[in-house]
Amino acid sequence: MPSQSRWSVPIPRTSLSSYIFTSPTVELSRAPLYIDTDRPETDFLSLHTYREWSKRFAAGLLTAGLQPGDRVLLCSTNSVLFPVVVMGVIMAGGIYTSGNPSFLPRELTHQLKDSGAKFLLTIEASLAVALEAASFAGMPHDKIFIFDNAPLNNIKGTDKKGIRHWDHLIASPEVGRRFAWKECVTIEETNQTVVLNYSSGTTGLPKGVESTHYNYIANCAQVIHQLSLDPLFSTPEAVARKSRWLCAIPLYHGFAQIQFGTVAAKRVVPTYIMRKYNYKEMIKNIERFKISELTLVPPIVVTMANDPNLFHGEARLNSVVRVFCGAAPLSRDISKKLEKIWPSGKVNVKQGCGMSETTCMILGWDPRLHSTSASVGELLANCEGKLMDDEGLKEVPLGQKGELWCRAPNVMKGYWKNPEETKETITEDGWLKTGDILYIDEQGMYHIVDRKKEMIKVGGVQVAPAELEALLHEHPHVLDVAVIGVRSQENGDEKPRAYIVLKSHVSASQNAIISFVSSRCSKPKRITGGVAFVDQIPKTAAGKILRKLLRKRAEAELKSGTQKAARL
């Protein structure tokens, strides 16, 4: 029998704009909501000004020729005006899509072509790439705009290389005040696509994930319900008085869009936005702005857990009371190590699980419970889940590993212009095949084992890279690690191969690493495909290991007979 969440929350059928702001004219909070960590005194938005800037941008887009359903692509680092672009596009009846500012021309060309974007906003640092990609995609230059914070400071934007500044798309305050978005009143209207986030592309080309008004509202309501269970932040008054968030992760990622772009606004949580992630600056910002809750990804947690300054009193993170980690699995050993920064029992690192195809979150922890494992918690409100066997024909027994299928109001509409992939991923009765392998423990908590396509098959035995990575993290000299499967030339079987980042000023041999694993796990899980020492593990901005790159590297290394890899 499928599992059902123990909670249910109402999900209104309305537009995302009305869900966040109530109406185009109602009085809203004027307290700082989005604050630039570099210029907190001048560069900030309240909930009121967030709505008003979004209305001005929406009106400007319509004047520029945006039609219902047109796509607008933003390629930018973090900015307090980032949420304005997202919401303005949605208010105007368009579809917002994010691009990674570190994209190369080939990657941005793919997204421009696949999404069919009609407008492209880019930071100046990415302008050369944007122009080259636009040329390949056939996008005219008059649809490309330079994006920055200049409008917020009443500074006239500067055109560059014949490309106009995005202030050409911002209507006057008077026009903005008169603008009213179209309300959604029918099921069909609330099921209109509003955001097109692209999957990380760890397998094949990135696919556009269609999220609707209803998807975004549902996931926002689910996450807010989970947060409101916390006795420290159970009321709006408590949130206003105690809660302070820091956005150190990229807003172009769906995880940040939900957490900081919608949940923070709906809950009116003061959110300090870093323009770009920098570890030392992040630590300073936590102290400076007295951040109460941290939303992190595994690479940041690993760095914090191995930072001696946090354990010897040089950095004081006394304001922090909650730490959440998502986007990729994290070992419990790393979580425990991070928790030692604070007095015993004060902070409990908890994990969650989600994906672009579920808008964001699908599993999370009840904040009233204490996590003592690497579990990602339980189903969020209004969600159903079941673990299926390899063939997808029947559920696996309790405690056994299976692919998570979920059915929930936050499950995507489908893949953009890709009915075949949509049909492969969502069943006729609405179950999303996540591709994640999990098991449920006796307490009903879900544990991620690995991605289905990332499992290493050794002599018919499925070996999970995440399990070996968690084990190798226990080695005293290992800072970071990734495990992949490499094909044996003798019998075509796969062998686990480890890529290791060592801590500073220590050393370890390949044989020492292999012996460490061999003494702690069964034969199929031993590192028989070799060990390579590298400077860093390639990962997405959200912290997911780019195993595809490591597989290509391993193939080249093994062909050339190189066992110890050159530095990444």
State pLDDT tens for residues 123-179: 999 999 999 999 999 999 999 999 999 999 988 888 998 999 999 999 999 999 999
* N-to-C CA span, the chain: 47
What pTM was computed for the model?
0.86
Range with the lowest mean pLDDT among 7-11, 197-201, 471-475? 197-201
CATH 3.40.50.720 fits 456-560, yes or no: no
Residue 392 has pLDDT above 50, yes or no: yes
What's the Cα-to-Cα distance from 458 to each of 162, 497, 512, 558, rounded to whole Å?
57, 12, 22, 18
Domain 211-451 CATH class label: alpha beta
Let me know: does 466 contact 496? Beta carbons within 8 Å: no
Domain boundaries for CATH 3.40.50.980 within the chain = 45-180
pLDDT for 311? 85
What pLDDT is recorded for position 203? 46
Q: Which CATH class is domain 45-180?
A: alpha beta
For position 103, what pLDDT does the model report?
87
The confidence band for 463, taking pLDDT boundaries of 50, 70 and 90, is confident
For residue 232, which of 319, 305, 300, 295 has the smallest C-alpha distance?
Answer: 319
Q: How far apart are CA 118 and CA 356, in angstroms?
A: 23
pLDDT in tens, 39-80: 999 999 999 999 999 999 999 999 999 999 999 999 999 999
Alpha carbons within 13 A on the beta-carbon side of 302: 22
pLDDT for res 391? 87
Confidence grade of residue 487 (pLDDT, cut at 50, 70, 90):
confident
Q: 165 - beta bridge partners? A: 146
Query: How many angstroms separate the CA atoms of 550 and 553, rounded?
Result: 5
Closest CA to 194 of 105, 267, 104, 98: 98
In the chain, which residues fall in CATH 3.30.300.30?
456-560
Confidence of residue 314 (pLDDT cuts 50, 70, 90): low
